[in-house]
Structure 1
Amino acid sequence: MADQLHLNAFVFPAGHHEAAWRHPSTQPERIHDADYFHQLARTAEDAAFDAVFVADIPALTSNVAYNAVGGLEPITLLASIAAATSRIGLIATASTTYYEPYNLARLFASLDHLSKGRAGWNVVTTVSEVVAANYGLDVHPDPTDRYARASEFLDVVTKLWDGWDEDAIVLDRATGRFADIERIHPADHTGPLFHVRGPLDVPRPPQGRPVLVQAGASNQGRSFAARFAEAIFTAHQRLVDGQAFYADIKDRATRFGRAPSEIVILPGICPFIGDTDTAARELEREFNELTVPEYGLRLLEQLTGVRLCEAALDKPVPQELFHDAGDVTDNARSRLQVVAGIVQRERPTVRRLLHRLAGARGHLAVTGTAEQVADTIEEWFRNGAADGFNVMPPFYPGGLELFASRVVPLLRERGLFRAEYTGSTLREHLGLSRPRSRFANEAHVTAAGA
């Protein structure tokens, strides 16, 4: 367990509640305005959050009819945020299925340079099948093929990031030599899926490599994360489930020869905060009453493959919708399992389930006072379920401002969270070491052998 909590602000246009854009406290007219995102990032930075995180699906989904979705490209957005901030980390989602290694390695190396070492990459293989047609594919690749590509993709990208030795730039004005080409190494990668010569046209990133983040919770996703990830975003409803995931990932990391401390585990938390428990629940009710049932029913259909009609809203959720959710030993559909657990434990009506998912999409939802939110965070942190949290305010900008002004001071009083930044890079915020270049390792081995 880490000595202190880590907190990310998961930036989602108007807020994580699906009806946030309809509430008068939000500003949906600003969700394509750089100044809006600068404001959110500065709020998180003023509270000494580790990072802001931007998710991405490179397609316009059908739910745009009922929600303020359709986002700015995340690496471009974070480059803009980098210029408006100075310390907070910048984590962008990008797909190994729909990028090429050289292009993505160059983009993240550039972001790391421009931000002076604050870049992180949320590595995804992309679940959404609608993306394929945007990239000239007739069929979205299956999970096994996507993870095979992702593994080789990571190998290529790290070779490219490591291509320039730390002292490759000599900057010798007297002789006219800018760089020592003997200290710049081509990737020369030839594999089943990629043939990439390299090297990059930018030096090694300030962090050595941008921080690698992953969010898959299936068995394949867990193994991939345990091998590569330095931070993991995950979703759990109960402490016991968080503890099981935490222990499993740390154990898998050990089997890959990694120290458990090399991976920071960050479940999502969606807090509705009020002066009293009653006020918080009233605020949540206001948002839930603004939901459009058609929107939630579409999402439930995407998850289960079964279409329910609005006439079923006040009937119990059919148990058979989740017959193929699997269990902890067969969790290929991990988010379906999370929702299945809610249904099995709570036996909700369809309307109640849609409201449960409206704010957090299966992540932990906490409704109450700042003290109650802080209590939940402390319980998970002290009991081996989390190294910190991916904070998912139900509405922006006010939800983040409430968390920063009310919950963060309580966490500091309890000795759980920093009062100010002690480092300048995302790796330093997360307590992660700067990775040694593979080419430096090879040179060391060669010299030792000689």
Structure 2
Amino acid sequence: MSTSRRQLRLGAFLMATGHHVAAWRHPGSVPDAGINIDHYVALARTAERGLFDQVFVADSPGVWHKGDEESFRRQGRVSHFEPVTLWAALSQVTKHIGFVATASTTYEDPYLLARKFASLDHLSQGRAAWNVVTTSADNVHGNFGLAAHPDPSTRYQRAHEFVDVVKGLWDSWDDDAFLRDPASGVYFDPAKVHALNHVGRFFQVKGPLNIERPPQGHPVIVQAGSSEDGKELAAASAEAIFTAWTSLAEAQAFYADVKGRLPKHGRRPEQLLVLPGIFPVIGATQAEAERKWQALQDLIHPSVGLNTLAPFWPLEDLRKFDLDARPPYYPELTPGVNSRAHVVIQLARREGYTVRQLYQYLAGARGHWVVRGTPQTIADRMQEWFENGAADGFNVMPPVLPLGLDEFVDQVVPELQRRGLFRTAYEGRTLRENLGLARPESRYVTTSPTAAHAA
């Protein structure tokens, strides 16, 4: 295999018991997975055995639920680890896999976040990544003493400033600032430490950070979201973007759009990896894959299914709907509807789904791309998107864990390797190196010898 050939990037998107909303009821899952460290150790090691670039967990600063008590008590995702803490532990039982942790620019503090992720990068020896989110859920503001959830425009304006502050704090110390010379008694060079002294609309942060520059320079910056604001944030500062599309044409349009925004930020297309989600249901035959899919669908309680539609229709209307008829109307696309809702509504219109069919689709992958078939079929579809301007790789979303990840690693990864699309060994030591991303220079690096260490 030619070492110069473009290679797929693969992330394992781990949702405790699996991505299907009823996964916790499946015999192939671990019902207490959200707080079971042995479960996550096994998953991280499986992903590393499969030579994945990274593992990723979503997170929210509040409970994942919006709906009635009946669906709430059947929700299997209400208890789960905080991701940075989890990844710090797993970094000690792995050697190569990268760790993507979600953290909100709306509800976190930039200094504390910069310190946490710098620490994770040191603990993992250069395998940390931050998934930048602005938090779309409107039910968490009360956890932080706020009267209301900020509007999308304000959240994204804050996010741009937040990311810039964090990156500046990561540059607080030059790479060679620490001498640690017992003979002279000099521990570090004060000329190589920088106070950020940031004063902006949302933040005033002096600095410097109280931990030296991360091994990767900056942990990898990831962004999840496909709205206009999300695409602009990704183009300005992200190095990978997680997204959700259900057709090749939509994915191609998004890929071209977000890559086309990079030049105005002084960036090149290869500096941002586009990684759509894929929800693979794997069978030895197509018929077996369909049976496995249906077995999962049969585990969905109607109250839980209807609750997945709560962002698009009022619950009081949903309860009146005939589950086996099309909804009486489809909501119009409005500026206040988030990017995932746009994908879902477009899908429903295109396919003419009944209420039950729509909630069954969403219960599986929440609007991500569902592919059912043999390992060869799934590899075919991934190759099609990869080679036709729709993806640089994928966020693999196993329906049930650990079963689904084992199947993908043991059956689909070898097929991708046979086609020369995926690595047979890790190329580098850090996550950046394995993703093919350059290590960023400090903002204080200059060619001027007299100004080289100006704070």
Q: Match of 2:219?
A: 210
For residues 204-240 of structure 1, give each alpha carbon's deviation from its aligned partner in whole angstroms, at most 9, with x where no partner exists.
Answer: 0000000000012111111111111000000000000
Counterpart check, 1:247 vs 2:248? no
SS at match of 1:249: helix
The one of 315, 318, 331 equivalent to 1:308 is 318
Contact 2:321 2:355 in 1 (8 A): no
For residues 404-438 of structure 1, give each alpha carbon's deviation from its aligned partner in whole angstroms, at most 9, with x where no partner exists.
Answer: 00000000000000001010111011100000000
The one of 186, 200, 222 equivalent to 2:231 is 222
The one of 385, 390, 415 equivalent to 2:395 is 390
The Cα RMSD (Å) is: 1.8
Q: Match of 2:441?
A: 436
**1:299: Cα distance to partner?**
2.1
Distance in 2 between residues matched to 1:244 and 1:30, nearest whole Å: 37
Q: TM-score normalised to the size of structure 1?
A: 0.95
Q: Match of 2:17?
A: 14
Distance in 1 between residues matched to 2:105 and 2:447, nearest whole Å: 26
Give the alignment of 1:40-439 within 5 angstroms.
Answer: 40-62=43-65, 64-69=72-77, 70-305=79-314, 307-309=317-319, 312-318=322-328, 320-323=329-332, 325-326=333-334, 333-439=338-444
Distance in 2 between residues matched to 1:441 and 1:403, nearest whole Å: 46
Contact 2:311 2:341 in 1 (8 A): no
Residues 15, 310 of structure 1: alpha-carbon distance in 2 compared, 3 angstrom cutoff: farther
Contact 2:444 2:453 in 1 (8 A): no
Q: Which amino acid aligns with 2:124?
A: S
Q: Match of 2:8?
A: 5
Residues 288, 448 of structure 1: alpha-carbon distance in 2 compared, 3 angstrom cutoff: closer
Is there any run of 5+ residues in structure 2 with no aligned partner, and where?
66-70
For residues 107-147 of structure 1, give each alpha carbon's deviation from its aligned partner in whole angstroms, at most 9, with x where no partner exists.
Answer: 00000000000000000000001110101111000011111
SS at match of 1:343: helix
SS at match of 2:242: strand
**1:331: Cα distance to partner?**
8.8
Q: Match of 1:27?
A: 30
Residues 281, 197 of structure 1: alpha-carbon distance in 2 compared, 3 angstrom cutoff: same
Q: Which amino acid aligns with 2:45?
A: R
The answer to which structure has the higher helix fraction is 1
Distance in 1 between residues matched to 2:128 and 2:103, nearest whole Å: 12
**1:356: Cα distance to partner?**
1.0
Contact 1:304 1:336 in 2 (8 A): no
4+ long deviations beyond 3 Å: 61-64, 303-307, 441-449
Contact 1:17 1:359 in 2 (8 A): yes
Contact 2:330 2:349 in 1 (8 A): no
Identity among equivalent pairs (%): 49
**1:198: Cα distance to partner?**
0.8
Q: Which amino acid aligns with 1:264?
A: L
Contact 2:102 2:133 in 1 (8 A): yes
Contact 1:2 1:261 in 2 (8 A): no
For residues 270-315 of structure 1, give each alpha carbon's deviation from its aligned partner in whole angstroms, at most 9, with x where no partner exists.
Answer: 0110010000000000000000111121221123445401652111
Is there any run of 5+ residues in structure 1 with no aligned partner, and where?
none
Residues 166, 145 of structure 1: alpha-carbon distance in 2 compared, 3 angstrom cutoff: same
